[in-house]
Structure 1
Amino acid sequence: MKLCYRADDFGYTVPFNDGVFKAIEQGIITHVDIMLDTPGAEDAMVRIKDYPWISIGWHTHFWGRPVLDPALVPSMVNEEGKFKFRKDQSLRLSVDYDETVAEFRAQLQKMMSITGRIPDTANIRNQGNFERAKKQVCDEYHICYNFADGMTERQTGKAMPIEERYKKYNIQQLKGAQKGGTIYDMEYFWDCYDPAKKIMNIDVEKHINSSFIGACHPGFLDDIILSESSCQLARVRDCQAMCDPALRHWIIEHRVELVNCRDLLYGTHEYQNHLQAIGSDLFINIKEGEMSNGY
């Protein structure tokens, strides 16, 4: 069974990034979704250069400030020069198309200048100028989009519906981690929110030839996140879960193959090659079908 686990909100703040990198280095994170406009974006881009085995998605929340001068994208910003979508996502429908294309390009160009790479994946909704502009720029830069919902092949540029994509690769998405309430409800949080258990509840024997994609927000908190985000303690619990020794043992015991997003898309073995290079006990000998520790 293959497992790709994603860290969302990468680049939110520097302390949040610290938690993501802990989950990468000590845990099972194989893919990150980066926000390129938030306070920790540049820190994230600089540091991720040292982790080429981690695939990258483009997390286009647009919660921070534009890369371009706000005066060049007036339809996208509020009076403070920040993106105006944080509290009302419907405002994306009113943006100017050309301004949005320019900002998308500027974000990718900045990432390229710092990291030497662009995101591997992005998500696009079929709504308004914001999403149409994103699609244009993803097509220009050959970024695969809507991997979680059906995607565009980088090589052909042709869309493959979600049913065909998931059927082809036998990919399933993991469901929510909580048993009741929500991840923002403290009455339920500590007793019910268990991301590691969510993974370990998979019936591996039943899904021996399947691929699973999961996501979380593993990171540390700071004053920015505490002041503006409704998702707070869940981030710390996610980081703890991704580094849980019991989860690591479960992966080894059940011969689960950790993969990044590019591995799922193109049949490569980048993440496993990394594990082999560092002598990790999570490495699977693909040819022999065995874990490096003898399982």
Structure 2
Amino acid sequence: MSNEPISNEAVQKAKEALDAHVREIVNWHFSADTGCPFWLDWASKAGWNPAEEVQSLDDLIAKFPHFQDEWLRDLQPEVWVPKAFEGQPFNVFETGGTTGMPKQRIGWSDYKIDYSEFSEKIADEHFPRNHYWLMMGPTGPRRLRLAIEHLANVRGCSCYFIDLDPRFVKKVIAEKKFDVARSYMDHVVDQAVTILKHRKVSAVFTTPKLLEALSEKLDLWESGIRGVFCGGTTMDPQYTRFLVEEVLENRIGFYPTYGNTLMGLAA
């Protein structure tokens, strides 16, 4: 990485590109030809025209209120369908739903875009092409399940799945049924062990705690694992180092990521 200072000219060009991107997005969402019912109705009641008045990121931040989570719980999904996508079936993705009705958001191909780009950032050494993956994590109504399978497919791979229900885990922990939570984790991990013992798998996606639990039941390297794509819960630097050095023994590629159902893959 270069230590040279970034020039004012480069900063200005980046700002101009970002502002142009903001204008494009706002114009698209607040055009009657492309926008969705929710934002078009919002603009009609707001008393100002975002397509005319938002010319930069600063304008966007200054003029719009905070997005209300309850909109994603209370409103029917069709209010979010842009005119440009009218008539096209959509995916419905949900959050954990630990506080009642889960937040929902719809989508078409954004997860494919995110993970196709991400594929260019992972090494063939750790994620060999034309092979097999294993996902041990939340599937069901989550965007992640489709995203991981797409990422595998982009690299010519197929993927096995072991489902984890985080809503159940959070429920039993809230009820202080820690023995039930542990038993459920063992149940999930045991299924993964069975796959790894009987099928050729070179890459795993899972959460940090499940990865640690899996490593206690078999040798990941000897089982053929060469890359781990990990996310879903907090990983501080100390725990990340533990996973890399102790769990993966500095032999298996480790790719910690951050994202969520609503915004997708962030980093």
What is the TM-score when the length of structure 2 is the normalising length?
A: 0.31
Select the structure of larger CA radius of gyration: 2
From the two aligned structures, give the one with the greater helix fraction.
Answer: 2
| Higher relative contact order (Cα pairs below 8 Å, separated by 6+ residues) | 1
